[in-house]
């Protein structure tokens, strides 16, 4: 835990270039470390499981195999006994007798196959529960595919499987979403940096996509309702992630309050403010736009531009073409950026609002100290505002004293704004995050500005990727396993969707190089699932927005329900 806290502890005390560099390297290291750590954890967990299951199940399988020949022997003995007990051999009699016994034999074989997991092979050297088989089994369990071609048959094996799955499935999910994130980031990077430099002859394209995203967003979600679902979704996604994301969430809190400060300070002389508060802004930004660990990795020089942009995008409804980042940089340094929906109502309210913002801010200061034990809906208030050296406290003094005279109106003003979108409430958890967002805007600007920054990869590309992956897999399996093409495609689909019927399993009939094909299949499977995770990651937001807009046009108020449709 301390490793997550260290940068934060260092940072506000000396926000120099050196420390920033340190923090970025630290973040990169922790990022890489956590990925590698997770993957290696999963791998070692699988190997551990393989060892365990091998020892647990191998003997039982051997026994079953030996048992088969004894079953046959018994049947033959019975037949012989019946044969010799008959004085005359007549065909009808014989047939009648034998049918009975053969049926019995059949029943016993089926029982051996279904109940005891016999694979139909009598050779004792060819057991299913070899190390490779057990490894495959562990992978199958923790990915929840569950072919069932090998299943534990001993009591202990079943119990261990249950606990193994309880621990392993979340671990696997964590790892997959992590890998999916990384892949999504790199794919996005690849797509926009590589592919779209090639097709620079139509520079319209990214622009168009971006704007589409913006408009969808705008019509897709009104106000905080949208932000709720967004934040929800985000946190849902995060929750499948590691504890370290949880810690990252923790990181958000100390820093996010600086957003509000920035808001106030942009009304003050802008240059100074930006210099002062931007460095601290970035981490909050990072963790807020959770999906990308990219931002951690590339040191963003546009820090200033982005913040401005974000601030600028608040006024989006007034000036929709503010989207261009460069434009933002130039246009907005001295414009008073009010991160509030009241700002929309016109310039005369703006001035009013400046005051209000100041009041609120200073109120926060005073509030911050005693709010510690306050209900956590006010979490953004709870944080005592660290007194940054660049801040001219004398600016704030008068306002503060002024605001102290009437704390309750401003509070009453503030609280319903925070609480009102939270009528749904069942997500009380996200209230904090919500109110963070809510406080400097109604949260929408965030989402929209995120779309500008994280430019979506077109849906068709992701779908195409997955489909082609399935077809490529079908082709490969046709070559490896001698299935026909439809069967292979069917197998790939059933596997990647984790349905896992188990009618086609690699290395079930071809037994020469079972280990090889098992290894190939596991690789295909793991990569495929992370590819699916990646494309979900890429497509998700846009699809949700699309579906939501459709739902809006349909007039379904509960558009919340719809958005999971394509999850």
Partner 1 sequence: MERKRSFRRRKQRKPFSEKCKDYLRKFAAFMFSNVGIIGLVVGYTIAGAFIFTSIEGHTEQEVKINILTSRNQTINRLWEVTYNLNVLYKETWRNAVEIELFKYQKDIIEAARNGYDGSDDVDEFKQWRFAGGFLYSLTVITTIGYGNILPRTPWGKVATIIYAIIGMPLFLLYLSNIGDIMAGSFKWIYAKCCLCRCCPGVARRRAERRRRRALQLSIEYINSRVDSRNNSDLSQASVHNIHMEEYRLNSLGGSSSDDEEEEDSDGVTETDVSYDSQAVTVPLTICLAIMVGYVCGGAILFSRYEDWNLLDGSYFCFISLSTIGFGDIVPGDKIYSGKGYELSFIFCSMYLMLGMALIAMCFNLMQEEVIHKIRTTMRTVRYILRCNR
Site residues for partner 1, 280-309, by CB under 8 A, read: none
Q: State the helix-helix crossing angle for 2-10 and 17-85, rounded to 10 degrees.
A: 160
Site residues for partner 1, 364-403, by CB under 8 A, read: 366, 369-370, 372-379, 382, 384, 386-387, 393-394, 397, 400-401
Q: Which of 32, 124, 167, 243 binds partner 1 (CB under 8 A)?
A: 243
Site residues for partner 1, 524-563, by CB under 8 A, read: 547, 550-551, 554-558, 561-562
Q: Which of 43, 44, 59, 106 binds partner 1 (CB under 8 A)?
A: 106
Interface stretch with partner 1, choices 67-75, 181-189, 353-361, 475-483 (CB under 8 A): 67-75
Cα 230 from chain centroid (whole Å): 13
For partner 1, give the closer residue by CB, 21 or 424.
424
Q: Which of 52, 67, 239, 478 binds partner 1 (CB under 8 A)?
A: 239
Q: Does 249 bind partner 1 (CB under 8 A)?
A: yes
For partner 1, give the closer residue by CB, 336 or 421.
421
Q: Does 250 bind partner 1 (CB under 8 A)?
A: yes
Q: Which residues of 59-76 are buried (b: 16+ CB within 10 A; e: fewer)?
A: ebbeebbeebeeeeeebe
Q: Which of 67, 215, 253, 300 binds partner 1 (CB under 8 A)?
A: 253
CB of 383 to partner 1, least distance (A): 8
First to last CA, the chain: 32
Q: Does 141 bind partner 1 (CB under 8 A)?
A: yes
For partner 1, give the closer residue by CB, 105 or 323.
105
- Of 343, 447, 308, 430, the closest CA to residue 380 belongs to 430
Residues 6 or more apart from 363 whose CB is under 8 A from it? 400, 403, 404, 407, 410, 411
CB of 450 to partner 1, least distance (A): 21
CB of 253 to partner 1, least distance (A): 7
Site residues for partner 1, 110-139, by CB under 8 A, read: 110, 113-115, 117, 120
- Count of C-beta atoms within a 10 Å radius of residue 371: 18
For partner 1, give the closer residue by CB, 292 or 414.
414
- Integer Cα distance of 362 and 356 in angstroms: 10
Residues in the chain: 567
Based on C-alpha coordinates, what's the Rg of the chain?
32
For partner 1, give the closer residue by CB, 17 or 557.
557
Interface stretch with partner 1, choices 208-216, 235-243, 342-350, 444-452 (CB under 8 A): 235-243
CB of 440 to partner 1, least distance (A): 19
Site residues for partner 1, 165-194, by CB under 8 A, read: 165, 169
Instruction: Report in angstroms the alpha-carbon separations of 157 from 118, 133, 154, 400, 428.
Output: 16, 15, 5, 67, 41
Q: Does 409 bind partner 1 (CB under 8 A)?
A: no
Q: Which of 404, 461, 465, 519 binds partner 1 (CB under 8 A)?
A: 404
CB of 116 to partner 1, least distance (A): 10
CB of 556 to partner 1, least distance (A): 4
- Integer Cα distance of 105 and 124 in angstroms: 21
CB of 464 to partner 1, least distance (A): 15
For partner 1, give the closer residue by CB, 192 or 475.
475
Q: What is the largest CA-CA distance in the chain?
A: 120
Site residues for partner 1, 470-529, by CB under 8 A, read: 486-487, 489-490, 493-494, 497-503
Site residues for partner 1, 81-100, by CB under 8 A, read: 83-84, 89, 91, 94-95, 98-99
Q: Which of 3, 14, 66, 103 binds partner 1 (CB under 8 A)?
A: 103
Interface stretch with partner 1, choices 284-292, 362-370, 449-457, 523-531 (CB under 8 A): 362-370
Q: Does 13 bind partner 1 (CB under 8 A)?
A: yes
User: DSSP letters of 407-474?
Assistant: HHHHHHHHHHHHHGGGGS-TTGGGHHHHHHHHHHS-SHHHHHHHHHHSPPPPHHHHHHHHHHHHHHHH
Question: E strands along 301-368, which residues?
Answer: none
- Integer Cα distance of 109 and 65 in angstroms: 11
Q: Does 247 bind partner 1 (CB under 8 A)?
A: yes
Nearest 5°: the CA angle 536, 457, 37 is: 50
Q: Please, what sign has the CA dihedral across residues 88, 90, 96, 102? A: positive
For partner 1, give the closer residue by CB, 44 or 497.
497
For partner 1, give the closer residue by CB, 302 or 501.
501
Structural contact between residues 209 and 458, judged by C-beta atoms closer than 8 angstroms: yes
How many chain residues touch partner 1 (CB under 8 A)?
Answer: 117
Exposed, middle or buried by CB within 10 Å (0-12, 13-18, 19+), for 498?
A: middle
Chain position carrying tokens 């503010």: 322
- Of 281, 384, 390, the closest CA to residue 20 belongs to 281
For partner 1, give the closer residue by CB, 203 or 425.
425
Instruction: Report in angstroms the alpha-carbon separations of 245 from 21, 34, 413.
Output: 21, 10, 33
């Amino acid at each position: 835990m301390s490793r997550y806290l260290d940068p934060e502890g260092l940072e506000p005390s000396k926000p120099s270039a050196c420390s920033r560099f340190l923090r970025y390297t630290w973040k990169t290291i922790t990022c890489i470390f956590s990925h590698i750590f997770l993957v290696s954890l999963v791998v070692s967990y699988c190997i551990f499981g393989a060892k365990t299951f091998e020892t647990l199940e191998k003997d039982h399988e051997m026994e079953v195999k030996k048992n088969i020949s004894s079953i046959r022997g018994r049947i033959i003995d019975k037949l012989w006994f019946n044969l010799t007990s008959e004085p005359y051999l007549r065909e009808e009699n014989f047939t009648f007798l034998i049918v009975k016994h053969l049926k019995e034999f059949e029943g016993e074989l089926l029982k051996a196959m279904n109940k005891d997991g016999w694979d139909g092979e009598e050779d004792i050297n060819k057991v299913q529960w070899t190390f490779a088989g057990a490894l495959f089994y562990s992978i199958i369990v923790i990915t929840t595919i569950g072919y069932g071609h090998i299943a534990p048959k001993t009591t202990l094996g079943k119990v261990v499987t249950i606990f193994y799955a309880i621990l392993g499935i979340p671990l696997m999910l964590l790892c997959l979403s992590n890998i999916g994130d990384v892949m999504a980031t790199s794919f996005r990077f690849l797509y926009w940096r590589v592919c779209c430099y090639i097709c620079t002859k139509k520079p319209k394209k990214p622009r168009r996509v971006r704007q589409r995203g913006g408009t969808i967003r705008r019509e897709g979600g009104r106000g905080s309702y949208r932000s709720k679902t967004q934040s929800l979704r985000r946190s849902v996604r995060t929750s499948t992630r590691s504890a370290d994301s949880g810690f990252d969430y923790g990181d958000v809190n100390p820093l996010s309050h600086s957003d509000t400060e920035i808001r106030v300070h942009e009304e003050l002389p802008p240059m100074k403010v930006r210099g002062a508060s931007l460095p601290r802004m970035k981490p909050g930004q990072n963790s807020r736009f959770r999906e990308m660990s990219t931002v951690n990795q590339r040191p963003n020089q546009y820090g200033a531009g982005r913040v401005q942009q974000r601030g600028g995008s608040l006024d989006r409804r007034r000036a929709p073409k503010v989207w261009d980042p460069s434009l933002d940089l130039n246009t907005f340094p001295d414009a008073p950026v009010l991160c509030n929906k009241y700002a929309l109502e016109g310039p005369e309210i703006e001035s009013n609002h400046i005051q209000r913002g100041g009041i609120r801010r200073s109120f926060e200061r005073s509030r911050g100290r005693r709010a510690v034990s306050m209900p956590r809906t006010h979490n953004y208030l709870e944080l005592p505002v660290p007194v940054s050296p660049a801040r001219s406290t004398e600016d704030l003094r008068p306002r503060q004293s002024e605001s102290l005279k009437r704390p309750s109106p401003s509070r009453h003003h503030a609280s319903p704004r925070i609480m009102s979108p939270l009528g749904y409430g069942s997500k009380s958890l996200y209230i904090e995050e919500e109110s963070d967002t809510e406080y400097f805007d109604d949260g929408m600007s965030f989402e929209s500005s995120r779309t500008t920054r994280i430019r979506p990869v077109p849906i068709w590309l992701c779908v195409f990727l997955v489909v082609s992956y399935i077809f490529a897999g079908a082709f490969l399996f046709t070559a490896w396993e001698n299935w026909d093409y439809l069967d292979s495609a069917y197998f790939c689909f059933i596997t990647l969707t984790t349905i896992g019927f188990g009618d086609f399993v690699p290395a079930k009939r071809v037994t020469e190089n079972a280990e090889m094909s098992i290894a190939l299949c596991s690789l295909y499977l793991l990569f495929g699932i992370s590819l699916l995770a990646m494309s979900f990651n890429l497509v998700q937001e846009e699809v949700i927005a699309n579906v939501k807009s459709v739902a809006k046009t349909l007039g379904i108020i509960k558009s919340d329900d719809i958005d999971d449709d394509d999850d």
